[in-house]
Every structure is written in structure tokens, then in C-alpha cells.
Amino acid sequence: MAKHETERSWHHMTAHAAARAFEVDLSGGLVDDVVSKRRGQYGSNTLTTRKTQGPLIRFLQQFHQPLVYILLAATLVTLFLQEWVESLVIFGVILINSVIGFIQESKALKAIDALARAMVSETLVIRNGERQKVPARDLVPGDIVMIQSGDKVPADMRLFKTRELRIDESTLTGESVSAQKIEDSLDQDTDLSDRRNMAYSSTLVTHGTGQGIVIATGDHTEIGRINDLISSAEIIATPLTIKIGQFSHVLLYAILGLAAVTFLVGFLRGQDWIDMFMASVALAVSAIPEGLPAAITIMLAIGVSRMADRHAIIRKLPAVETLGSTTVICSDKTGTLTRNQMTVTHMYAGGGQYAVSGVGYAPEGGISIESSGPDPDDNKALTALLTAGMLCNDSVIRKKGDAYDVEGDPTEGALIVSAMKAGFSEKGLKPMLPRIDVLPFESARQYMATLHDQGPGKPRLVYVKGSIESLCVDCSLIYTADGSMDTGNPEDIHRLVEAMAEKGLRVLAFSCMEMPPGTDRLTHEDLEEGLQFLGLQGMIDPPRPEAVDAVRVSQDAGILVKMITGDHAGTAAAIARQLGLCGDTCSIHTREVITGRDLADIEEESLPEFAESTAVFARVSPEQKLRLVEALQKRDHVVAMTGDGVNDAPALRQANIGVAMGITGTDVSKEAADMVLTDDNFSTIKAAVEEGRGVFDNLTKFITWILPTNGGQALVITLAVFLGMELPVLPLQILWVNMTTALLLGLMLAFEPKEPGIMARMPRDPNQPILGKALMFRIVLVSLLLLAGSFGLFNYQIYRDGNMELARTLAVSVFIFGQMFYLFNCRSLTRSVWNLGLFSNPWVWIGAGLMTAFQLIFIYTPVFNTVFGTHPMGFFEWLLVLGFSALFSMVIAIEKKIQERIS
């Protein structure tokens, strides 16, 4: 739509003013010529699919990584040397990683496609003075659209005629209760979620009918703006990808520098420049951890499999590790921390206050005395209250498989369920008291009333439900527990309502009265006097019980949990207190709640401090959710954002990791997320964080284990060049060591069980390197030990009999078996292997067995002797290799013990 038109405050204008702006007759609609002209002006009512890079470009971008550059360089060098096997293996590793990355790409494009699919296919309009169905994509600004219960709103509209119209806007605003729509104009500064005279594209009509003027289509709708936010949201690199990128850059410069120094030293000493070039190539190959990218990918994939078993589907591999780095979880309220199922939890009737157990739409639970009052079974006022809630109602509870759902308004569904918990049934009650007439809910009057037949010759019965203001002021009589009438005190009832409201409950009042037999029509004038107050029902969209525990565990793990919702501040704060996000039980946040209107007034430089110190953000727009995530990231937080609605999608994409709900989540939120919870259970996030921490622990163990191999090999070659000696290990032998040990030994660390207390630790500092000073010292120590063992045994064997092939076989075997023994040390970076249990990870034994078998083939098979330049070893040589490996393992165990005492 034209810019000046999208910026108009349509909710502030009268319907007739909006009609004049679009030059449309409210009763006759647009004519075909105008429709054609506007379609050319504004385009179709569809979301624009952004241009994206083609598959080839996206595939080639997988090679745009420093570590891959190193491997590509190694491939080119080995090709130059005509070492075809090395080139094929290294390039195969690169190709596998690139294919996996390519498959995981393009979630933003999918999110936009999902938004486009959300547009309805057909809608009812008035054109040329007649009602007609047209494809939703053909709507233009100014069209007159008719909507009714069950419809998806096809475009953004200014409503001008409503009849009991209620619309579920939870996927757009986060509000769990359907919005009651009106026709009147509103204040100009009214928030999006409070614009009750507007209907927004892709929201769902739950009750009533309405007509509206289309004021925006396609990309210019509210959902279209969210589409733009998804496209513009920056894809944040995960902590793992950042650290691996930094590590790769350092490694790249170190390898190039060391190779250049080696070449220069040898050349200056007068050695043949071709030999020095070959030695530099060997040095580069030795220093490159060829198995690292493949091993990281496989370890993350194993983490993905483990998380799938715990109901978390990972859409992008690095997200596994990111969960373990999370410092803040920003959670949507509706459907994520809560069930998105309104539930009656408190009642008042006949002088008694009652608690209702059970949550959601399942009729499981009961009614018990909360503080005082007669037994529920003996309270006739309570019986009448529950009857009124079930009969003064236009919704239905349906059982779908093992689950229950409401067809109609969630509030009415909650009333039906509360009656069912007391033993009432719609099939039994409605035939006993059939409905004769109804006064539908009107926003101006704030109540609904139904007229029922009690049988021949008996008075007709009227049930009324609505706000306390609309009913209680008219109640001069109160229905008591024994069925008699008593004079009421409205002030006492208002105090009860205030007490319920402080708990975040939405409170409905109920009344009844009798009318003469034969009455078949109910009017508002009939209700002006004679109403008998029955009681109150207070309801809320309750927290998931498991979410309470998940929040507590997350906070114990040093993770800030924040609620970001479109719901009202009072309701959101009440839920937050029940969850332990704020209040007396939580000292983490210094501010309890901030509204979207407050956020709009906060300067950009002050927002990070507010974002970090506040527990609840209520009545926020999609842009503000996105802004909050960005503000927390400015404080170096690793942010996980959970949600299930369209309004969550931009923030899900901006977050370091987006988490969507699999059952109630929209396609948009799922496609924008990195992880989808298949059970919609917030507590699954706790399990995923635990799994993510375990994955990062195991990745750290793997890197601590693998780097000494490359360091030791590089030192061996460098020392040989500096001393003017033959190379103790050849490039092809180096490649054998690197690839076989990484996959057969190091990869077994992926199956290492999580260490005790993993969720009692604080989150890692995002700026902290993967390897601390203690681990770097250990890597250097192990590299030096491997240098001593391989270089020493190589020269010892040359001294013994001058057999170069056997000497190199000894040097290679030192690396193989030294790393095998070191593997057991790396099962824990701080604890002794004896404390872990020798067989708590059987995979390391399987890997050790396989590696031994492969090494025996490498040593004793003639074909391998020829290809790799090896020689069979005798008993004495085995004693040397295994003896050194055992000594080497003992030294590391002692070093670990010393580090433990120092720390």
C-alpha cells in the first residue's frame, strides 16, 4: 500500500472516514473497474518472497570458512605432489561437511513461505452491490469483507459492523483470550493488541460475525511487517562457530608462518629448496587437523540424535552447542510457559470460596473448599453457578484423540470444564433446560443472557454472565448455600473480585432470575431488576507445572529466564510470580514488569540495562521483542528465544538460538527457529540445555585430545628440518594418523556420559576461549611428550640398524598408541579415569580395539607396507612403543592431579 496510507491511524478514524478515504460505499462495495485499477496499484494480497541466493551459490558458501581454506590448500598441495590418496581423502572430508551445511540452510526463506501459506484461499466480499466469494489474493484496499466464526481474516481491516465478534489474535499479539471486537473509533496511541475495531490478517474468528474495510493487503499488513522483520533480522553466529572461526584463523596463520620459517631455515642452511618445499608441505599437512571438521559435525549430529530422544528437534547443528552456552532464555508466555488453555481455578458461591484442581480443557480435577464455606456437594448456590456457566455458553468441548480442545471462545470452554469437573454433562443438562432465547454478549453491556424452559407450567429461568460491574450493581439478592435468598452487599463481592484479580485471574460474575411461564423472548429491559447473584468464577491460562521446575533448574544453572508477552501486565506478572521469575522467591530481577508503552520511551543506550534487570515485558509488539533480544545481545548474552506464534518469528530468528513449539507452534515460528520442541514442553528446554552443555564438554575434550597429535607431528618435522635430518614421519603417514585416530579414537568421546553437576555450573562466558590456560599447557606438554617419544624412538632405531621404514613405523606407532592412552585421560578434563569408572563409556574400548586392529594392518600388511612405507615391528619394538605410551599416560595423570590442587 502507498506509504501515506499505511501510516494512517485507521483505528482512530471513524468507519465512514475510512470509507471516504478509500472512496467506497459501505453497503455496495467497490465496482470491478476500481478493483482492477487498485490491483494494478497495490498488487496482489500475497507476501513477497524475497530474492535469495541460488542453490549453487549457497553450496559454494559452505567452503567460505578459514578451516576449509586450510584443507583446500592441503588438497592443492598434495595434488601438486601427485599424492592422489591424500588429496581424495582431504577433499572428501570437505565435501561431506559442505553437503551437511547446505542441507541445513535457508530457514529464513522457509519462514517467509510459511507466512505466504498462512494467507486464506477464499473470502466473502461485497462488490457491485452483491455478495460474492473471491480468492483472498485478489483483495484490494477498500474492499468490503464479511467474516464469521471459523474464518481466517484475509487482510487487515477496519471493522464497521460487528455482532458478538471475537477474534483469536494470540499468534499475533500473544493475548490468550479472544479479543472482543467493536465498531467505535479508538485513541490514536492505542497499542496494537488493544485495537478492538481492527481485524488483522491470518488471525482466527472464534465467534460472531463482522464486516470491515480492507485497509492493507500483502506486505503492508501487520503479518507482512513481521515478514520484513524476519528477512532483516541478522543471523547470529553461535558461540561454537565464532570460536572455531577464531581458532581456524589462528591456526591458519600459525601453519603458514611455521611452514615459511621451516623453508627459510633449511634454505639458508644450503639445503635443496625442493626438499625444503616438500618438508614445508609435510609440516602443513601435519599441523592441519583434517579430522576436526568431520568429527565436530559427527559429534553435533550425535547430540542432535540424543536431543530428538528428549523431544527436541534440532534444525541446525551448531544449535546443539549454543544451548549449552545460553545465558538468557526469553520465553513467550502463551502456549510456552502456559498451556494456552483457560482454566477456572477459583470460585465463590453461597458464602464459600473454592479451589478448582486440574488444568487445561481436560475434565480432570475437582472442587474443594479453599478457605471457608459449606461442602461443595451441599452448596446449592455453587450448583446453580456451575449450571449457569455451562448453559449460558455458546462453545463446545471436543475430545480429539487423547486431548481435549474447545470449539469457540476459550473463556467459555473453561466454564464448561469447571462444570464437568463437578459431574455435570452438556448432554444431560441441556435437554433438561433447553434454551429458548439468548441475548448475545455486547461490549457496551458486558454481559450475555440465556432463557431456559424448566418444563410445562414452570417459570422460565434466565442465566446471566458478565463483568462484575455489569451484574453485581444490579443484584439486590444473593443466592445462598441452602437455596434461599439473602440481601447482598456489592462491596464485599467487589473485594473478592479484587483479591482474585491480584492473582491474575479473569473474573466473571453470574446471576439468575425467573420469568413467567411461556415467556419466549428475552430483552435487556427484563434484566434491569430482579437478578439474583449466584457467584464468581476466576480463570487464568495456567503455568505448565513442569515449566515451574524448568525455570528453577535454569536459574540454578545461572540462566536468566524472562517472559516476553503481548498479554496484559497484571496477568503476565501474576503468572511470572507463580513461575518464580519475580516476587519474593526470586532475587535475580530488580524490576518486575515493563510494558510495551514504557519500552517505547526508553532510550536505546539505556535499554540493555532495563532488558537485563526486568523479569516480564508485557504488551510488547513484534518489533519490541526483536529489540529486546538485540539489547540483551549487546550485553554479550547468548540469548535463546522460545515462542509459538507468528509474532515470535522475528525474535526467534534474531536470537542466538530460536526455540519453537511443535504442537501449537505456527509454521512461521517453526521455520524461523533453530530447534523445535515436539512436546511443547518448556521443561524440554532444560533437558536440551543440559544436553548442549554435555556436547560442548565433549567437544572440548576432543579438541584437547586431537591438537597434541598435530602439535607433536609439527614439532617432529620442524626439529628434523632444523637438524638437517630425514623426516621421521612422511605426509601420507601423517594423514593416516590424523584421520584414523580422529574417527576411531577421538570420536568415541562423543559418547562420554555427562559429568555430575553439569547443571550446577554457571554458563560459560561467551568471550571465554574454548581452551583455557590449563588446557593449553596440557596440549603443549602432550605435544612435547609425543615429540620426545617419536623422535627419540626414530633416532634410536636408526642407530640400531639404520632401517628407515621400521624407524618411521615406530614413530607413527608412538603417535597412535600415545593418543590411545591419552584418550582415557581425556574422558574427563579434571577427574581421574578411575573416578569415572573404566567401563562407563564402552565406546572408548571399542574405538581402542578398532584402532589397534587397523594399526596392525598398517604395520603387517604388505600392501600397506608398500603404500605407506612401513615395516613389520618385532616384540622389542612393541615393548618400546607401549612402554612409552604407558609412561606418557602416567605423566598426564600426575599433571591433572597437580592442576586440580592448584585450582
- Which pLDDT score is estimated for 340? 79
Instruction: Mean pLDDT check: name the lowest of 89-103, 671-685, 795-809, 854-868.
Output: 89-103
- Which pLDDT score is estimated for 274? 62
Q: Is the pLDDT of residue 109 over 50?
A: no
pTM: 0.67
- Which pLDDT score is estimated for 687? 84
- Which pLDDT score is estimated for 465? 94
Q: Which residue has the higher pLDDT, 692 or 475?
A: 692
Instruction: Mean pLDDT check: name the lowest of 194-208, 246-260, 482-496.
Output: 246-260
Which of 364, 451, 440, 452 is CA-nearest to residue 408?
440
Instruction: Mean pLDDT check: name the lowest of 116-125, 134-143, 339-348, 434-443.
Output: 116-125
Q: What is the mean pLDDT of the chain?
A: 83
Q: Which of 156, 168, 219, 332 is catalytic?
A: 332
Sign of the torsion formed by the C-alpha atoms of 646, 648, 654 and 659: negative
- Which pLDDT score is estimated for 81? 63
- Which pLDDT score is estimated for 103? 62
Q: Whole-angstrom Cα distance, residue 354 to residue 378? A: 13
Query: Residues 852, 882: contact at Cβ < 8 Å?
Result: no
- Which pLDDT score is estimated for 118? 43
- In three-state secondary structure terms, 126 is strand
- Which pLDDT score is estimated for 108? 35
- Which pLDDT score is estimated for 735? 76
Residues present in the chain in total: 903
74 pLDDT tier (thresholds 50, 70, 90): low
278 pLDDT tier (thresholds 50, 70, 90): low
- Which pLDDT score is estimated for 502? 82
Let me know if 453 is a catalytic residue.
Answer: no
- Which pLDDT score is estimated for 116? 42
- Which pLDDT score is estimated for 174? 66
Q: Whole-angstrom Cα distance, residue 774 to residue 279? A: 32
CB atoms within 10 A of CB 479: 27
Q: Is the pLDDT of residue 110 over 60?
A: no
Over residues 208-230, the mean pLDDT reads 85
Q: Whole-angstrom Cα distance, residue 398 to residue 406? A: 6
- Which pLDDT score is estimated for 903? 66
CA distances from 278 to 252, 255, 865 (A): 18, 14, 21
Angle of CA points 739, 740, 741, to nearest 5°: 95
Q: Whole-angstrom Cα distance, residue 430 to residue 896? A: 76
Which of 393, 526, 395 is CA-nearest to residue 448?
393
Query: Residues 198, 159: contact at Cβ < 8 Å?
Result: yes
Instruction: Mean pLDDT check: name the lowest of 168-182, 211-225, 365-379, 597-611.
Output: 168-182
- How far from each other are the two terminal CA atoms of the chain, in whole angstroms? 64
Over residues 360-365, the mean pLDDT reads 92
Instruction: Mean pLDDT check: name the lowest of 77-91, 316-330, 427-441, 452-466.
Output: 77-91
Q: Is the pLDDT of residue 724 over 70?
A: yes
CB burial string 669-684: b at 16+ within 10 A, e below: bbbbbbbbbeebbbbb
Tell me which amino acid residue 385 is.
Answer: L
Q: Is the pLDDT of residue 801 over 70?
A: yes
- pLDDT by residue (tens digit) across 818-834? 999 999 999 998 887 77
Over residues 544-570, the mean pLDDT reads 86
- Which pLDDT score is estimated for 689? 87
CA distances from 865 to 56, 203, 226, 812, 858 (A): 42, 71, 64, 13, 7
- Of 69-73, 154-158, 496-500, 690-694, the range with the highest mean pLDDT is 154-158
Over residues 346-373, the mean pLDDT reads 91
C-alpha cell of residue 697: 564438554
Instruction: Mean pLDDT check: name the lowest of 64-78, 248-262, 849-863.
Output: 64-78
- pLDDT by residue (tens digit) across 285-313? 666 676 676 677 677 777 777 887 888 88
Q: Whole-angstrom Cα distance, residue 857 to residue 416? A: 74
- Which pLDDT score is estimated for 764? 78
What is the per-residue DSSP string for 764-784? PPTTS-SS-HHHHHHHHHHHH
- Which pLDDT score is estimated for 661? 79
- In three-state secondary structure terms, 724 is coil
CB burial string 308-333: b at 16+ within 10 A, e below: eebbbebbbbbbbbbbbbbbbbbbbb
- Which pLDDT score is estimated for 632? 94
C-alpha cell of residue 195: 485495537
- pLDDT by residue (tens digit) across 167-200? 888 767 766 677 889 999 999 888 888 899 999 9
